[in-house]
């Protein structure tokens, strides 16, 4: 299969690309497209065969459910069995945007989408390309991140092609995604709303609208084959090929130790780190932003660049341990997890 990449640079190219992509999706194909978080890998959420092609392209385990993207609150309500008051409140405040809500699924949702579970994860994206594509297809789109399973999420079309070229029909190149991290996921199926995945939308903002604290459930599911209630809960996730080492200091001493062992190093200190050194050969260094929004927007882009450079080890200085950094810490911790853990 040849993967077609359509670059979007003006209204005319958007219209043409969306028209071609919508036909591909209606025919059961798989299309990568930008959202305000990361690139998604979309297929008709009501077509089990098309959804199965997402799992095959990504090498995604069948117990990891997908987020279904819709273009309206009315469309979302048709995809779930109940629409509780908390869902209505959050949708009114934060949709379209980087918020995913887990609700009891409607019968029209194939079980493959939900990993056989009774709930469905729903989101209304804000990115104009994503919204135009959903509108053109008149379909809900199941769309996890457009990358191989457990690997770094894609924030540029070229990242998608690095991993999925020849595995999918099409990529819509809408430039770099602005947010850089995946959506916040909240489970609304019980009396106490639960945070399943921290993301671009701060949990404090959700709590202000709901009028109550969220229970935090961000660990992976218990049994190895059990269905996860949400995407993004695998222990190892968002990971580059090279091992990630998280350190509390600026990391330069660890960099020196790895260099002495003959490794090629990727180094990601915070921009506020005081160490000023002449970088030796074998080190690719990027100073990361000191605030969480900027850091989130840069994280996957830098990890992709280091992977392209072929580094053997990646040393990352941990950001501050505050609530504002919760989503970044979640991604770093999962990226640093070892296969044997």
**What CATH number is associated with residue 186?**
3.90.870.10
pLDDT reading at 232 higher than 80: no
pLDDT at residue 172, rounded to an integer: 98
pLDDT over threshold 60, residue 221: no
**Up-side HSE of residue 9: CA atoms within 13 Å toward CB?**
3
Does 164 share its domain with 301?
no
Number of structural domains the chain divides into: 2
Token pair of 123 as six digits: 């989101």
**Does residue 234 belong to any structural domain of this protein?**
no
**Tokens linked to 254:** 């660890």
pLDDT tens profile 235-279: 788 999 999 999 999 999 999 999 999 999 999 999 876 555 556
**DSSP-assigned states of every residue in 250-274:** -SHHHHHHHHHTT--EEEE-BTT--
Identify the H or E element spanning 16: helix 11-26
pTM of the model: 0.94
Q: How many residues does the chain have?
A: 341
Q: Please tell me the chain's helix, strand, coil percentages from 3-state DSSP, rounded to the nearest 5.
A: 30, 20, 50
Please, what is the end-to-end C-alpha distance for the chain in angstroms? Answer: 36
Question: What CA–CA distances, in Å, run from 182 to 56, 81, 153, 275, 337?
Answer: 21, 25, 9, 31, 18
Residue 86 near residue 103 (C-beta atoms within 8 A): no
- 290 and 191 fall within a common domain: no
* Residue range 273-289: mean pLDDT, rounded: 75
Q: What is the mean pLDDT of residues 315-331?
A: 95
More confident residue, 163 or 235: 163
Same domain, 32 and 111: yes
277 and 190 in one domain? no
Average pLDDT over residues 276-289: 79
Same domain membership, residue 101 and residue 191: yes
Q: Are residues 267 and 180 in the same domain?
A: no
**Are 209 and 308 found together in one domain?**
no
Q: What is residue 340's predicted lDDT score, i.e. its pLDDT?
A: 42
Contact, 172 vs 133, CB < 8 A?
A: yes
Q: Could you give the angle at the alpha carbon of 247 between the alpha carbons of 241 and 249, nearest 5°?
A: 140
For the cut 80, the answer to whether the pLDDT of residue 295 exceeds it is yes
Is residue 265 assigned to a domain? yes
Q: Check whether 19 has a pLDDT greater than 50.
A: yes
Over residues 171-189, mean pLDDT: 97
User: Is residue 254 classed exposed, middle or buried when 0-12, 13-18 and 19+ CB atoms within 10 A define those classes?
Assistant: middle
Q: What is the mean pLDDT of the chain?
A: 93
Do 275 and 204 share a structural domain? no
What sign does the CA torsion over 240, 244, 250, 256 have?
negative
The verdict on residue 230 lying in a domain is: no
At residue 181, the pLDDT reads 96
For residue 190, tell me if it sits in a domain: yes
Q: In sequence order, what are the residues at sequence separation of 6 or more whose Cβ sits closer than 8 angstroms to the Cβ of residue 85?
A: none
Please report whether residue 225 resides in a domain: no
Per-residue pLDDT for 338 more than 80?
A: no
Closest among 43, 30, 18, 9 to 132, alpha carbons compared: 18
Q: Say whether both 195 and 278 belong to one domain.
A: no
Q: Is residue 229 part of a domain?
A: no
What are 89-134's pLDDT values in tens digits?
A: 999 999 999 999 999 999 999 999 999 999 999 999 999 999 999 9
Q: CATH number for the domain including 320?
A: 3.40.50.11030
Which residue, of 216, 233, 252, is where some domain finishes? 216
Using pLDDT thresholds of 50, 70 and 90, give the confidence band for residue 14.
very high
Does position 224 have pLDDT exceeding 70, yes or no?
A: no
Higher-scoring residue by pLDDT: 277, 58: 58
Q: Domain of 123? A: 4-216
CA–CA gap between residue 101 and residue 85 (Å, rounded)? 12
22, 120, 301 from 290: Cα distances, Å:
40, 36, 16
What distance separates the 2 farthest-apart alpha carbons in the chain? 61
Place of tokens 């199941």: 142
Would residue 221 count as lying in a domain?
Answer: no
Residue at 58 is within a domain: yes
Percent of the chain with pLDDT over 90: 87
- Percentage of residues in the chain having pLDDT higher than 70: 94
Is 106 in the same domain as 31? yes
DSSP structural state of residue 153: P
Same domain, 204 and 161: yes
Cα(191)–Cα(211) distance, integer angstroms: 13
């Amino acid at each position: 299969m040849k993967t077609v990449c359509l670059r979007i640079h003006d209204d005319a190219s958007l219209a043409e690309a969306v028209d071609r992509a919508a036909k591909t999706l209606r025919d059961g194909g798989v299309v990568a497209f930008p959202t305000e978080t990361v690139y998604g890998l979309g297929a008709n959420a009501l077509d089990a065969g098309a959804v199965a092609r997402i799992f095959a392209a990504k090498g995604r385990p069948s117990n990891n459910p997908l987020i279904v993207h819709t273009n309206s609150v009315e469309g979302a309500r048709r995809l779930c069995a109940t629409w509780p008051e908390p869902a209505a409140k959050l949708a009114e405040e934060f949709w379209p945007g980087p918020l995913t809500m887990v609700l009891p699924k409607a019968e029209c949702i194939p079980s493959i989408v939900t990993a056989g579970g009774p709930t469905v994860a729903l989101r209304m994206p804000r990115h104009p390309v994503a919204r135009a594509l959903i509108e053109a297809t008149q379909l809900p789109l199941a769309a996890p991140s457009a990358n191989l399973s457990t690997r770094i999420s894609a924030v540029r079309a070229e990242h998608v092609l690095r991993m999925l070229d020849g595995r999918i029909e099409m990529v819509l190149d809408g430039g770099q995604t602005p947010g850089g991290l995946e959506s916040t996921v909240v489970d609304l199926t019980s009396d106490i709303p639960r945070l399943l995945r921290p993301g671009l939308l701060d949990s404090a903002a959700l709590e202000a609208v709901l009028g109550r604290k969220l229970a935090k459930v961000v660990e992976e599911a218990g049994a190895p084959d059990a269905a996860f209630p949400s995407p993004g809960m695998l222990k190892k996730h968002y990971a580059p090929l090279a091992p990630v080492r998280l350190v509390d200091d600026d990391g330069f001493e660890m960099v020196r130790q790895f260099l002495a062992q003959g490794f090629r190093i990727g180094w990601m200190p915070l921009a506020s780190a005081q160490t000023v050194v002449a970088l030796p050969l074998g080190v690719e260094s990027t100073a990361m932003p000191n605030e969480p929004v900027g850091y989130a927007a840069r994280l996957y882009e830098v990890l992709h660049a280091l992977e392209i450079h072929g580094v053997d080890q990646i040393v990352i200085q941990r950001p501050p341990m505050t609530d504002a950094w919760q989503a970044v810490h979640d991604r770093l911790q999962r990226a640093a997890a070892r296969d044997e853990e």
